[in-house]
Structure 1
Amino acid sequence: MRISTQQQYFKSIDQMQNSQSKLADLQNQISTGKKLQTPSDDPVAAAQVVKLERELAQYEKYDDNINVTQRRLELEDSILDDINIATDRMREITLQAGNGTLNDQGREAVANELKQLSGYVAGLMNTKDSQGEYLFAGSRGATTPYVLEGDRYEYKGDDGQRQIQVGAALYMPSNDSGNYLFEAVDDELSVALSGASVASNSAFVDSATFANETEEERFTAAAQMAGWGDLTVRTTETAPLPSGVFTFDVLDSGGNAVKDQFDNVVTGNFSTNPVSVNVHGMDIVIHEPTAAESGDIVLTVSSEKKNILDVAMDLADVLAEPVLSDEDRTVLNEAVAKGIDQFKQVAERNIEARTTLGSRLGTLEQISGSNLDFELFTKSALSRLEDADLASVISQFKLQEVTLEASQATFGRISSLSLFNYIN
């Protein structure tokens, strides 16, 4: 086999260039610590690296969300603690106001302190987070939740919660609305009517009311003991038209007849029109319906809600009035007793909310630990794919360097050989 001089040169140069290229690649790996310099180095590994980097970025986002959520929940817990302290003070001075030895001036001083505490608590309820959004406005972060209108504070937020993703398939509420936290004090009972005749503005129930708080308490106790649920007033035509004679019955949510405080079934006719019946404190006024109006009307009894600010301001108004008679003293005592009970409800909701906050914060710590484990696993897998084994790469570099030097030395000697050397 004949090897030409030109072929010999080209072959040697090509080998040295390949060696230099490998040396450059190895040098890059040593300087960067990465064995994957371009996707063409290992297309399959490069695709896996892109996927793992995307997962890692996602977990980093979860960590950011966890930190934001923790800050918001910790701030909420701190504010609720301050509100609880203020509530305890309100309850304490309310007890003082109920002391029979306290004169008008003393009660007025208590009323003024209640108003001052109300303003302080309202400021806490309007707290903003680090991003400048109102903490207790629900999903309306830009809306001031409690606004003073006249002499009462009105809630302008909603009952929404902000759900923040803190895991691959896990969302965590980062706030609680003022509607849940503060609009939770039971006040007067209200009765809502529903049914076909109500919708057509031809209801045969004229009213369903309670004369006072004592009657409300009597009805509530009876309803809970009997398990009534919603009440239904049913009118039935007992004689054909044109006479149109009707009777009425009051039924519970199971369709059973309701009995009054004398254990008599609440039923009757319209010998007087309208007719008034009393169901354990609820006064129901019914007029005789027409054939088109007859049927069922459902009475849904619910408690209207107040916030701690309303409770304090209402109580302050009563305390500011002088006691001039036994009737005034009775009104004062009832207001104090009601205020103490309502402040207790505020405290109970506060404890309930803070217990929930503690559970959320504990869950966030667990999620953060799990996410950290996933991050470490992902980073380990990523390292195996793209990080260079420096000890091995340096050894290869030294070997390639020696090989190149040998090639260069050999080429120098071979290139000097010629047939004319032997002729001479």
Structure 2
Amino acid sequence: MRISSFQFTQRNLDNISGRTTEANKLLGQISSGKRVEYASDDPVAANGIFNYKQELRKLEQYKTNINLADNRLSREETGLTSAENITQQVKEIMLKANNPAIGPQERDAFKAELQSRIDEMLDIANANDEFGQAIFGGFQTDSAPFTRQPNGDITYSGDTGQRQMVIGDSVKVELNHSGEQVFGGVPNPRGDFTMSYALKDGARQDQLQVESAKISDRGSFTDAHPYTIEFMDSSPVAGNMAYRVTDNNNVVVPTPPADPALYTPGSKITVDGVDIVIKGEAKVGDKITLGSTVADGTGQDELGVFDILNRAKEWLETDGHNANGQANMADILGELDAMGGHFTRVRADTGNRMQRLDNQRETHAEMTLTLDKLRSGMEDLDYAQATGEFSQIMVALEATQTMFGKVQSMSLFNYI
């Protein structure tokens, strides 16, 4: 077979062009550090690289979400820590004020100090995050969730919603506790009712006090509060104390075995499905009223933070150094202890959520390293191998160009 000069020239030019293309491709890979820049470079590897990059981008979004959630929960934790400190400060104010030797000026100073603590607590309850959204408003984040009314009461206008953030595949974390839960969910240390006292003055060996009042039999509980416990002389043994319980219609509630029933300090009294334990010395004419702001048969087993603080303020506005005042003081101190413990539990739950964020952050960091290593193995260039191949191609290209140049200059006329 004869090969024409044109065919010979074209074949050598194609050879030179092909090696030049290979050299340029390797040079581009060396410059970018990528073995696979286009899907055509390695279709199978390109598909795997795309999937790895998708996963890596998703992990980066999760990391961003974790940082946002961490900032959000950190602000809540700071607020809860401050609320704990304020609770302790209020308790110290009340203990100092519970001193019969203080005068009106000192009482006014304690009242002003307590009002300042209440204002601080309200600021915490209405705190905003870095985006200006109410931390304790539930889903209602565009306005202050707590509002002071003209009579001094503080009401909640938010809801019970808990916002969530996606921090992993099928993994979410709550970003907040609602204001109702944080500032309205203090466990009632007395059980299901709050107490008010109308006690006779005079010395007592032991302060009369309701230790607990809990609904024990909801089937027989008629929700006829307030219940009034009145103390009187028992007969025929003079000097022994007896009691009678009436409901909100002033109807005597049966108290076996008799009416009135003999009072034994510390013993359980069961009326209308409610177990009541009263301790201390009773006097003739003493009255204790068990009330609740809840009228759905569940009892008031939770108290509001601001209700507790306002009750403490009311105590400072009256003379609390009498039988009534001391009974109320005992209740206030118990409620403040319950309030501090409540803030601690909520803060612990916030800490658990932050720990979950840390754990998820570590998981994503490990997964990122693994995926990035797999992606790199498929996409990144092996410089040593690429440099060697580039050198071989350049040697072959130079040899082809040299040989083609010499052959191209050969002619029979040179030998005639």
Structures share fold, TM-score greater than 0.5:
yes
1:397-416 Cα deviation digits (max 9, x unpaired): 11101111111100111111
| 2:368 corresponds to 1:375 | yes
Q: 1:212 to 1:69 in 2, by over 3 A?
A: same
Alignment partner, residue 167 of structure 1: 168
Deviation at 1:278, TM superposition (A): 5.4
Alignment partner, residue 17 of structure 1: 17
1:274-326 Cα deviation digits (max 9, x unpaired): xxx952679xxxxxxxxxxxxxxx97232064432222223212321357xxx
Letter in 1 for 2:38: T
Alignment partner, residue 247 of structure 2: none
* Distance in 2, Cα, partners of 1:311 & 1:120: 15
C-alpha contact 1:87 1:346 (8 A) present in aligned 2: yes
The count of aligned residue pairs is: 346
Aligned residues with identical type, % of pairs: 25
Alignment partner, residue 26 of structure 1: 26
Q: Tell me, which stretches of 5 or more residues in structure 1 are unaligned? A: 192-208, 234-258, 265-276, 283-297
* Distance in 1, Cα, partners of 2:388 & 2:188: 83
Q: Per the alignment, in what secondary structure is the counterpart of residue 139 of structure 2?
A: coil
Equivalence map 1:186-197=2 (5 Å): none
Letter in 2 for 1:185: V
Alignment partner, residue 262 of structure 1: 256
* Distance in 2, Cα, partners of 1:188 & 1:85: 20
Q: 1:190 to 1:156 in 2, by over 3 A?
A: farther
1:343-371 Cα deviation digits (max 9, x unpaired): 11110111111222222222222211111
* Distance in 2, Cα, partners of 1:174 & 1:4: 81
Q: 1:115 to 1:303 in 2, by over 3 A?
A: same
Q: 1:280 to 1:419 in 2, by over 3 A?
A: closer
1:358-407 Cα deviation digits (max 9, x unpaired): 22222222211111111011101110111110111111111101111111
1:145-194 Cα deviation digits (max 9, x unpaired): 21112112211221221111111121111221221111123569999xxx
Deviation at 1:106, TM superposition (A): 3.0
Q: Per the alignment, in what secondary structure is the counterpart of residue 133 of structure 2?
A: coil
Deviation at 1:219, TM superposition (A): 7.9
Alignment partner, residue 109 of structure 1: 109
Deviation at 1:143, TM superposition (A): 2.4
| 2:338 corresponds to 1:338 | no
C-alpha contact 1:140 1:157 (8 A) present in aligned 2: yes
| 2:318 corresponds to 1:317 | no
C-alpha contact 1:219 1:280 (8 A) present in aligned 2: no
* Distance in 2, Cα, partners of 1:103 & 1:78: 37
Q: Give the TM-score of the pair, scaled to structure 2.
A: 0.76
Letter in 2 for 1:418: S
* Distance in 1, Cα, partners of 2:209 & 2:15: 101
| 2:272 corresponds to 1:279 | yes
Q: 1:85 to 1:278 in 2, by over 3 A?
A: closer
Q: 1:188 to 1:392 in 2, by over 3 A?
A: closer
Deviation at 1:38, TM superposition (A): 1.1
Equivalence map 1:333-412=2 (5 Å): 333-412=326-405
Q: Give the TM-score of the pair, scaled to structure 1.
A: 0.74
Letter in 2 for 1:60: E
Letter in 1 for 2:310: M
* Distance in 1, Cα, partners of 2:78 & 2:120: 15
Q: 1:189 to 1:348 in 2, by over 3 A?
A: closer
C-alpha contact 2:187 2:342 (8 A) present in aligned 1: no
Alignment partner, residue 149 of structure 2: 149
* Distance in 1, Cα, partners of 2:96 & 2:118: 18
Query: Higher mean Cα deviation, 135-144 or 29-38?
Result: 135-144
Equivalence map 1:17-96=2 (5 Å): 17-96=17-96
1:118-142 Cα deviation digits (max 9, x unpaired): 0011112221111221111122222
| 2:308 corresponds to 1:307 | no
C-alpha contact 2:147 2:154 (8 A) present in aligned 1: yes
* Distance in 2, Cα, partners of 1:232 & 1:87: 34
Equivalence map 1:194-273=2 (5 Å): 212=196, 220-221=213-214, 223-224=215-216, 228-231=217-220, 261-262=255-256
Q: Per the alignment, in what secondary structure is the counterpart of residue 297 of structure 2?
A: strand
